[in-house]
Structure 1
Amino acid sequence: MATPCHCRRHALGTFAAIYVFLAIVAQPFTTTTAIGVNYGTKGDNLAPPSTVAAFLANRTRIDRVKLFDTNPDMLRAFAGTGISVMVTAANGDIPILATTQGAAAWVASNVAPFYPATEISLVAVGNEIMDTHDPSLIDSLVPAMRTLKAALAAAAFRRIRVSTPNSLGILVDSSPPSAARFRDGWDVAVFTPMLQFLQRSKSPLVVNAYPYFGYNGDTLPYALARPNNPGVADAGTGITYTSMFEAQLDSVYSAMKKLGFEDVEILVGETGWPTKAMDGQIGVSPAEAAEYNRYLINEVGSGSGTPLMPKRTFETYIFALFNEDLKPGPVAERNFGLFQPDFTPMYDVGIMKGPVTAPAPAAPAKAARESKASAPTEVNGSSSAMAPSMGESTDHKTPEAAEGGDAPPSSAKSGPGDSESSEAAAKDDQGNSEKTSPREGSTTPPPDGAASKSTSFLFHVSCILAIALSVVMHV
């Protein structure tokens, strides 16, 4: 029979093990999860890149940014910060990038002067090229990706990945997810060779997924992934989706699987929710934006994946870093920012390293400027600015060897210009019910619950630990 002293030692040891376990599982995702953000510059009141980079590195948990060009001041600003950077080659550069000489010159000008001091993680070749419907760009897209990867390898920059962002307009029959496929013609001519390249080079398929552009008044809880929403059933798999974001990713996965490339990773290049839209539009306020992005950060960092891709993590970039007052189009386009131009957070989603203060009201002059810039009606899409065509490429033969054996670094975290657009998922008629325009003339419902689940869980853990300690001390 053990002595009381031995029992107490045993109990204390057990308590210590329980304490360590609970302390680990009780950590809220928002304190540890890193997230990426799209850094656009279409504003007349934005801080210089060096100030922005220092703010992100020192005051936030954001550890990766996506730029819409290769602005040298921005690339230099992120040198030595530990923040990885995705850069974008302009749409109009694509035909030249499809040539060996053009790709080598682009790398020498836009990558070599900055890498590796600035951690360039991926080069995006254009932005939503399929939505341009420009044959010269579409025909040159995959050859440009191949040739650019070969040029990076030749310059000893093998760890830099190459891909191209796509809106969900590349899919048809995307609801339910099990029925999704790539558009006819593009599936064989574009996406089969593109996915072959991505598979060989261990680069991700980049998609811009926006539940915001797929919701209406009835499906708002589904778009925001609110707890206990009824969800949408997929008869093909028997799965009931309670998150439109997960359904959108699984639609992309289903289309890839139909072509035999389900092992290619998916990177979310853009997603977000605005804080302001046309008056009367249901579901748009700082509360809903915070609700969506809080869900998003916890979801992508949890490692739970999606119903068709369990236990996967998705490198994800929120649109956008700032509200940008010079962006054209509907009101929402200028109000996707996590921050005001003076770095005041629009809401708290756990990405700040210090206290979060409420944003100040907009100045009357700025409000008047936004009113003048607003479109007459709020629509679910805006055209991407497209660079002029530069003609067909004459050199599509590139070394396939550069595609293999070039995995991204294990620590990969993943501007202005012709390719920038946030309304990515709504430019094409996708033939599915998730592309319905948000209904106007309704009031915004309150979000479900302001406190985070992690806060509640930590409270319960503290109670458990107190009880356990009390029991141990009385052994």
Structure 2
Amino acid sequence: MESSLTFVFHLLLLCVFSENGVVTVQSFTGTYGINYGRIADNIPSPEDVVRLLKAAKIKNVRIYDPDHSVLNAFKGSGLELVIGLPNQDMKDISENEDNATSWVKENVQSFLPETHIRGIAVGNEVLGSGNQELEEVLLGAVKNIYKAIDSLHLTDVIQISTAHSTAVFANSYPPSSCTFNDNVIQYMRPLLQFFSQIGSPFFLNIYPFLAYRDNPRDINVNYALFQSNPGIVDNKTRLHYDNMFDAQIDAAYAALDDAGFKKMEVIISETGWASKGDGDETGATVQNAKIYNYNLRKRLAMRKGTPLRPKIMMKAYIFALFNEDLKPGKTSERNFGLFKADGSIAYDIGFRGLKPSSASSSHLYLRDIQSRGWLTPYPMFLITCATVLLVLIHN
């Protein structure tokens, strides 16, 4: 029999009753969250990241793998995590229930309840990726992870999801015309059926930046940036949209409705704007990134829904906490961060950053000059002397 304290703990978990009577946990508190990516060699330690998130008062955090140094750093912080099961691990999880149980025990159960893990995102942007092997194992991986949390009595703590890109849609303009692509519907429909049964939301990554970058001639930049513009009217619903963010969410709701899942909630698992890009990446500027993220923050703070779903409060994880200097691809991929590598703000949208300590600043400087090979011929005592000197200078 559970102790009274354990019973009270379970009662206090963020659970609601879905319409079909299944108890489902809500992995997202409030409206604003952030993605904490770590494909970089110059970002703060997980412990400093916790301090930064607390200073910024950002409670909802999404990470892309179950890194134990991160999960340990978040212990006792009160911050709420959705952790990712990486794409490369999905096949093993889908083929063997024991693998799924071991994964959940090692990466989730062992950190509860001190680390507030509230969700598991199984894979990222799998459907529509063109990787048929991953598409075929997604549902099996989702089901086995759910079976694992069910067997461990964690269904009132952990919500299961997977994040989709807009590549799953056949079209999205106007919003009411949106449907799922023919090449994903065979995988999407049974996935949505299972998520409907267990009360999971539809996680979606949307980037007005990418839409504008790829079609600046036909898209008004002010429409993408939440600034004053004529907007569009959806002739079918007669609804007016003054920004692309709302329109893209309602396009997802239209596709879900068309597939028979009208009551499923859409949560934005990624959105953001690049502050720097290649020569052909129109709109990737610090000013535009500042405008988008500032206006998005205001939009979410209104705690309102979209024109099509006005009663469903918008929720979004912003991409991203830091610029990630080791990410491959276009320059924009490495420049979505709200904060610089030292924890200071990249641009002002109302958040406070961390002021680097003199010791950590000195460490970063020494690591930089060591990486250039300038200190290798000299004795180690010179490194120690340099560290002391730099600390004295900063103080």
TM-score clears 0.5: yes
Q: Which residue of 2 aligns with 1:220?
A: 221
Aligned: 1:137 with 2:138: no
Please report how far the alpha carbon of residue 103 of structure 1 lies from its aligned counterpart in structure 2 after TM superposition.
Answer: 1.1
AA partner of residue 143 (structure 1)? G
Counterpart for residue 154 of structure 1: 151
Which residue does 1:265 correspond to in 2? 265
Change (3 A) 1:117 1:237: same
Give me the whole-angstrom Cα distance separating, in 1, the residues matched to 2:45 and 2:230: 46
- In structure 2, the gaps of 5 or more residues are 1-28, 356-364, 369-395
**Per the alignment, in what secondary structure is the counterpart of residue 164 of structure 1?**
strand
CA distance in structure 1 between the partners assigned to 2:184 and 2:32 by the alignment: 32
Q: Bigger radius of gyration, 1 or 2? A: 1
Cα distance change of structure 1 residues 294 and 154 upon mapping to structure 2, 3 Å threshold: same
Report what 1:74 is aligned to: 70
In structure 1, give the amino acid aligned to 2:119: L
Alignment of 1:39-438 (within 5 A): 39-57=36-54, 59-98=55-94, 99-158=96-155, 159-187=157-185, 189-215=186-212, 216=216, 218-227=219-228, 229-279=229-279, 282-352=282-352
For structure 1, which runs of at least 5 residues remain unmatched after alignment? 1-31, 356-362, 367-475
Q: Is the 8 A contact 2:345 2:353 kept in 1?
A: no
CA distance in 2, matches of 1:95, 1:246: 35
SS at match of 1:96: helix
3-state DSSP of counterpart to 2:128: helix
Calculate the TM-score normalised by the size of structure 2.
Answer: 0.77
Which structure is higher in RCO with an 8 Å CA cutoff and minimum separation 6? 1
Q: Distance in 2 between matches of 1:354 and 1:42?
A: 20
TM-score, with structure 1 as normaliser: 0.65
**Which digits, 9 at most, give the CA deviation of each residue in 1:342-381, with x for residues without a partner?**
11101222233999xxxxxxx9xx9xxxxxxxxxxxxxxx
SS at match of 2:351: coil
CA RMSD of aligned residues (A): 2.2
Q: Go from structure 1 to structure 2 and tell me whether the alpha carbon gap of 1:279 and 1:137 turns closer, same or farther (over 3 Å shift).
A: closer
CA distance in 2, matches of 1:304, 1:285: 28
Q: CA deviation at 1:309?
A: 0.8
Whole-angstrom distance in 1 between the partners of 2:50 and 2:128 = 31
The answer to whether the Cα contact below 8 Å between 2:128 and 2:184 also exists between their aligned partners in 1 is no
Give the secondary structure class of the aligned counterpart of 1:349: coil
* 2:255 alignment partner, SS class: helix
SS of match in other structure, 2:110: coil
Distance 1:94 1:352, change over 3 A: same
Greater Cα shift, 240-249 or 210-219 = 210-219
Residue 317 of structure 2 aligns to a residue in which SS?
Answer: strand
Distance 1:38 1:148 in 2: 22
Q: How big is each residue's C-alpha offset from its partner over 1:54-88, in whole Å with a ceiling of 9 and x where there is no partner?
A: 2212x111111111111000011111111111111
